[in-house]
Structure 1
Amino acid sequence: MIEFEADVPRWKQVADVIRERIADGTYPPRTRVPSVIQLSAEFGIAQATAQKVHGGLRDEGLIYTEPGLGSFVAGPRRPPSEG
């Protein structure tokens, strides 16, 4: 799954996996995504790398963080209202 010798940084590879899981419904809207510690264990990456995964997905608007509760898949976006 993760090619450690690849030209693509590990955090981007893991972010791609999580993005795919969001897209295919494995992680539906408003459900918790794996924590930094869980990502680190699942993919064999450093926690700092897993933090980059979360940060990248947050920057894309795919996940949001509730302090003290964890990170969750963002819900579907509503189209802008016409008028």
Structure 2
Amino acid sequence: MKAKKLFFKECHLAGRQYHDVDEVWDQLKVGLVLRLERDLDNRYDKNAVAVMYDEEDKEGGPTGESYLLGYIPGDDNETIALILEIL
């Protein structure tokens, strides 16, 4: 069964200049699936949600490498943080 796509929110990526975006920029394409992950240890934002890129090999399998691209901005992350906590 194919997963149904659901548009939830569009926002910019906060803090990208401090993380791994430049390292994997050439691998990022429109439509690429990224992973959202709660950052419960974030001392700056109790609702912090990290945007992660999990690298794949040429066959689409995981390489085990994950990259922190940045965060959902603080003004937009409360609802997403709550959803991730109940999943």
Structure 1 length normalisation: TM-score? Answer: 0.25
